[in-house]
Structure 1
């Protein structure tokens, strides 16, 4: 998919990804509202997703920008999965010719589990749900960092 007419900053549709080696959470959001909603997580094998599954989401939602969560250590240093997430971000850009940015995702999994638990207890803590909620939080954090006060 090649998309040439991107919307101006502040009006873009943004797709967020919570990269993982077994599952990749996906969310979609709007800069205008600063809100995000979860989509369907895709399975990955050692961090390599089924690109056809991602293409379905990209083609349906037509994002103007993609944001990949960057897993860092609490002190801000990189870890092994940080480099895999950056590689995934580069591959997204190469596959879809859509701008890709990264966003610090420290503590998003803990936050996602807390939100999901509040919504439905332990039964709501399935892996795909946690990954998708993490993707939502990554996007919300991106919007807040980009446009918040």
Structure 2
């Protein structure tokens, strides 16, 4: 089963998909959006869903460190609602606290990735991390 992971921001959506076995996550692309103008990049998202034969979507919930839900969590839930108007797929949510920080650290540790290049790939890498965390937690035999 192919699963798509989405890291939803106010200006971009990082997109990752799993392999057909649901073992590993790979980054696909970053879709530019504009929340203020209600431009959510849904046409491109639907294209990717079809191209990769996605059967489930996982959207990151950027909860606060105390586990409370703020504005960004609500924005992610609204994005999920927009998706359900276009595709009939199950949508799950994954706590994504610190995935962007983790992605930034990974890119910094590479050493050869400039700040400008990091900015271009960080959301995609964050989507990979949140999807991989989801796959690891939901794999057969996981505790």
Match for residue 79 of structure 1 among 70, 74, 95: 70
TM-score using structure 2 length: 0.88
SS, match of residue 85 in structure 2: helix
Matched with 1:18 is: 7
Match for residue 106 of structure 1 among 87, 97, 100: 97
Matched with 1:128 is: 120
Matched with 2:49 is: 58
Match for residue 16 of structure 2 among 20, 23, 27: 27
Contact kept? 1:15, 1:27, Cα under 8 Å? yes
CA distance in 2, matches of 1:100, 1:45: 22
Cα shift at 1:126 = 2.9
Matched with 1:7 is: none
Cα shift at 1:119 = 3.2
How many residues are treated as equivalent by the alignment?
138
Per mean C-alpha deviation after superposition, the further-off stretch among 79-88 and 89-98 is: 89-98
Match for residue 87 of structure 2 among 73, 96, 114: 96
CA RMSD of aligned residues (A): 1.8
Cα shift at 1:44 = 0.9
TM-score using structure 1 length: 0.84
Cα shift at 1:121 = 3.4
